[in-house]
Amino acid sequence: MKHHLHLLLFLVLGVVSCAQSIPDVLEKYNDHTVEYITVASLDTLNTPMLLDARELEEFEVSHLDHALWVGYTDFNVETVQEMVPDKTTPLVVYCSLGVRSEEIGKQLKKAGYTNVKNLYGGIFEWKNQGRPVYDQDQQQTEKVHAFSKYWGRFLTNAHKVYTSKTKTNGQ
């Protein structure tokens, strides 16, 4: 229920928000309790575990290579504990922009994980920088689920998908 309220709040605030850039969004919605890691800095980490905190529909359209889907609405910390029992494992959580992933990162830290980072700008920033993403068949794709038309405006270097039926906006 708590996750549904966060998601509803995220959607409602998004409609009335005047955020004009990814940094604006992150400053407005995040409280910086989970340390950010930039796309470029991710290259320097020694094999971090990538956790996708988006909805399954978004993950199936595309995700970072070797990422594990943990979800947002249906997130269950016990599932992560089964997949990643060593609580010192470097974890990088991401979502579309970095708001939902901060919420999941907080839960992971509360569960005792000591090396949790939030990917700054999420998969949107990753793709905006020309990095590869992969579909549910592990094939490279140019498609990224843009969540909604409002949030999709922050995704500038991908074919935007708004449903799992791969309907795009013509880009």
Helix 2-16 to helix 100-110 angle, to the nearest 10 degrees? 150
Return the sign of the alpha-carbon dihedral for residues 145, 149, 154, 155.
positive
Domain count, the chain: 1
171 found inside a domain: no
- Domain membership of residue 75 as a residue range: 2-161
34 found inside a domain: yes
pLDDT, residue 139, reads 97
Task: Enter the pTM of the model.
Answer: 0.85
pLDDT (mean) for 19-40:
94
What confidence tier does 28 reach under pLDDT thresholds 50, 70, 90?
very high
Q: What is the DSSP letter of 143?
A: E
How far is residue 160 CA from its own chain's centroid?
A: 15
75 found inside a domain: yes
pLDDT tens digit sequence for 79-112: 999 999 999 999 999 999 999 999 999 999 999 9
169 found inside a domain: no
Residue 36 has pLDDT above 60, yes or no: yes
Return the sign of the alpha-carbon dihedral for residues 16, 22, 28, 33.
positive
Residue 15 has pLDDT above 80, yes or no: no
170 found inside a domain: no
SS3 state at 147: coil
pLDDT (mean) for 4-26:
65
pLDDT, residue 31, reads 95
pLDDT tens digit sequence for 55-74: 999 999 999 999 999 999 99
48 found inside a domain: yes
* Token code pair at residue 41: 């800095």
pLDDT, residue 43, reads 86
Residue 9 has pLDDT above 70, yes or no: no
**For position 117, which CATH number holds?**
3.40.250.10
| Cβ–Cβ under 8 Å, residues 115 and 125 | no
166 found inside a domain: no
167 found inside a domain: no
